[in-house]
Structure 1
Amino acid sequence: MIMVATWVSLAFVLGLVVRTFGLPPLVGYLGAGFILSAYGLESDPALDAIAHAGVLLLLFIVGLKLRLRTLIQPEVLIGSVLHMAIVSAVIVALFYSMTTLSMQAALFTAVALSFSSTVIAAKVLEGKKELRAFHGRVAIGILIVQDLVAVGLLSFTGGHAPSPWALSLFGLFFLRPLFYRLLDISGHDELLLLFGLLIAFVFAGAGFEFFGLSSELGAVLFGILLADHKRAVELSDSLWGLKEVFLVGFFLQIGMAGVPDWLTFWHAALLCLLLPVKAMLLFFILLVFKLRARSSFLAALTLATYSEFGLIVANMGVRNGWLATDWLVLLAIAVALSFVIAAPLNRHAHVIYSWLEQWLLPFESGRRHPDDKPILLGNSHLLVMGMGRVGTGAYDFLSERGQRVIGMDSDPAKAERHRSEGRRVLYGDAEDPGLWENLSFDEVHAVLLAMPDLEANTMAARQLRKRGFGGLICATAVHAEELDKIRKAGADVAYNYYDQVGVGFAERVWELMHRNTNQPASEHNKDPVLPE
Structure 2
Amino acid sequence: MLPRPGVRAAGAFERRSGRAARGPNAVNGSDHLLSALLPVILLLSFGIVAAIGSRSLHLSPIVGYIALGLVLRLSGFNPGPSGQTIAVLAELGVLFLLFDIGLHFSFARLRTQAGDIFGFGPAQVLLAGLMLAAAARLSGLPWGGALLLGAALALSSTAVVVGLIAERHQQDCPVGRTATAILVFQDVAGIFILIVATSLQDGGAPLEAGLGALARAALCFCASLLLARFVVRPVFDFVARSRNEEVFTAVALLVALAAGWATGSIGLSVTLGAFLGGAMLADTPYRSIVQSEIKPFRGLLLGFFFVSVGLSLDMPTLLGAWHLVLLVACGLLAIKVIANMLASLIFRWSVPGSVQLGFLLAQGSEFAFVILSVPGVRASVGPQWSSVVVASVAATIAMTPGLASVGRWLAGSLRARRRLAHDPELQPKALIGPVMILGMGEVGRAVADALIHFDLGYVAMDTDQRRLAEALADGYRVEFGDLSDPRIWEPAALAGRRVSVLTEPSLEISGRLTPLTRKYFPGLLRIAVVGDAAAAIGFANVGLTPVIEVPGTGGLETAARVLEALEVSADEVASWVVGRRAILAGDESPAMAAALA
> Which residue identity does 2:199 align to in structure 1?
S
| Counterpart position of 1:82 | 123
* Closer, same or farther: CA 499–211 of 1 in aligned 2, 3 Å: farther
* Closer, same or farther: CA 457–482 of 1 in aligned 2, 3 Å: farther
Shift of 1:201: 1.4
| Counterpart position of 2:199 | 155
Judge which range, 355-364 or 333-342, deviates more.
Answer: 355-364
Shift of 1:252: 0.7
The residue correspondences of 1:378-389 to structure 2 (distance < 5 A) are 385-387=435-437, 389=439
Question: Given that residues 42 and 256 in structure 1 are in contact (C-alpha distance below 8 angstroms), is that contact kept between their aligned partners in structure 2?
Answer: no
The residue correspondences of 1:28-427 to structure 2 (distance < 5 A) are 28-41=64-77, 44-71=83-110, 73-97=114-138, 99-117=139-157, 134=177, 135-152=179-196, 154-155=198-199, 158=202, 161=209, 168-169=219-220, 170-176=222-228, 177-186=230-239, 187=242, 188-203=244-259, 205-258=260-313, 259=315, 260-273=317-330, 274-290=332-348, 297=356, 301-302=360-361, 304-306=363-365, 307-312=368-373, 315-319=375-379, 322-342=380-400, 344-345=401-402, 349=404, 353=408, 356-359=411-414, 375=429, 385-387=435-437, 389=439, 393=443, 396=446, 405-409=454-458
**C-alpha deviations, 1:154-207, integer Å up to 9, x for none?**
53674694567655422221222211111122343222111111111121x222
Structure 2 CA distance, aligned partners of 1:100 and 1:352? 32
Structure 1 CA distance, aligned partners of 2:289 and 2:534? 24
**C-alpha deviations, 1:100-151, integer Å up to 9, x for none?**
4445554444344334445655776788898896232331222212432442
* Closer, same or farther: CA 388–105 of 1 in aligned 2, 3 Å: same
Shift of 1:212: 2.4
Q: Which has the higher helix share?
A: 2
Judge which range, 188-197 or 146-155, deviates more.
Answer: 146-155
Task: Kindly tell me the number of residue pairs found equivalent between the two proteins.
Answer: 451
| Counterpart position of 2:27 | none
Shift of 1:496: 4.8
Shift of 1:40: 2.7
Q: Tell me, which stretches of 5 or more residues in structure 2 are unaligned?
A: 1-36, 461-469, 478-487, 537-546, 554-597
**Structure 1-normalised TM-score?**
0.68
Structure 2 CA distance, aligned partners of 1:216 and 1:408? 34
**C-alpha deviations, 1:329-356, integer Å up to 9, x for none?**
22222233233333x448xx57962563
Shift of 1:278: 0.8
> Which residue identity does 1:181 align to in structure 2?
P
* Closer, same or farther: CA 397–228 of 1 in aligned 2, 3 Å: closer
Which SS does the other structure have where 2:457 is aligned? strand
**C-alpha deviations, 1:448-507, integer Å up to 9, x for none?**
xxxx8499666655xxxxxxxxxxx78768622544676787659644578989949998
Structure 2 CA distance, aligned partners of 1:250 and 1:270? 26
* Aligned pair partner of 1:6 in 42, 47, 51: 42
Shift of 1:239: 1.3
Shift of 1:96: 4.2
- Quick check: which has more Rg, 1 or 2? 2
Structure 2 CA distance, aligned partners of 1:255 and 1:90? 27
Question: Given that residues 124 and 340 in structure 2 are in contact (C-alpha distance below 8 angstroms), is that contact kept between their aligned partners in structure 1?
Answer: yes
Shift of 1:237: 1.0
> Which residue identity does 1:66 align to in structure 2?
F
* Closer, same or farther: CA 215–118 of 1 in aligned 2, 3 Å: farther
Question: Given that residues 156 and 186 in structure 2 are in contact (C-alpha distance below 8 angstroms), is that contact kept between their aligned partners in structure 1?
Answer: no
* Closer, same or farther: CA 143–409 of 1 in aligned 2, 3 Å: same
> Which residue identity does 1:269 align to in structure 2?
L
* Closer, same or farther: CA 403–13 of 1 in aligned 2, 3 Å: closer
Question: Given that residues 325 and 388 in structure 2 are in contact (C-alpha distance below 8 angstroms), is that contact kept between their aligned partners in structure 1?
Answer: yes
Judge which range, 137-146 or 159-168, deviates more.
Answer: 159-168
Question: Given that residues 92 and 107 in structure 1 are in contact (C-alpha distance below 8 angstroms), is that contact kept between their aligned partners in structure 2?
Answer: yes
Judge which range, 178-187 or 391-400, deviates more.
Answer: 391-400
* Closer, same or farther: CA 56–156 of 1 in aligned 2, 3 Å: closer
Question: Given that residues 384 and 406 in structure 1 are in contact (C-alpha distance below 8 angstroms), is that contact kept between their aligned partners in structure 2?
Answer: no
> Which residue identity does 2:456 align to in structure 1?
G
| Counterpart position of 1:380 | none
Question: Given that residues 386 and 409 in structure 1 are in contact (C-alpha distance below 8 angstroms), is that contact kept between their aligned partners in structure 2?
Answer: yes
Which SS does the other structure have where 1:407 is aligned? coil
Question: Given that residues 66 and 310 in structure 2 are in contact (C-alpha distance below 8 angstroms), is that contact kept between their aligned partners in structure 1?
Answer: yes
Shift of 1:22: 3.2
Structure 2 CA distance, aligned partners of 1:130 and 1:375? 10
Question: Given that residues 117 and 182 in structure 2 are in contact (C-alpha distance below 8 angstroms), is that contact kept between their aligned partners in structure 1?
Answer: yes
* Closer, same or farther: CA 391–53 of 1 in aligned 2, 3 Å: farther
Which SS does the other structure have where 1:386 is aligned? strand
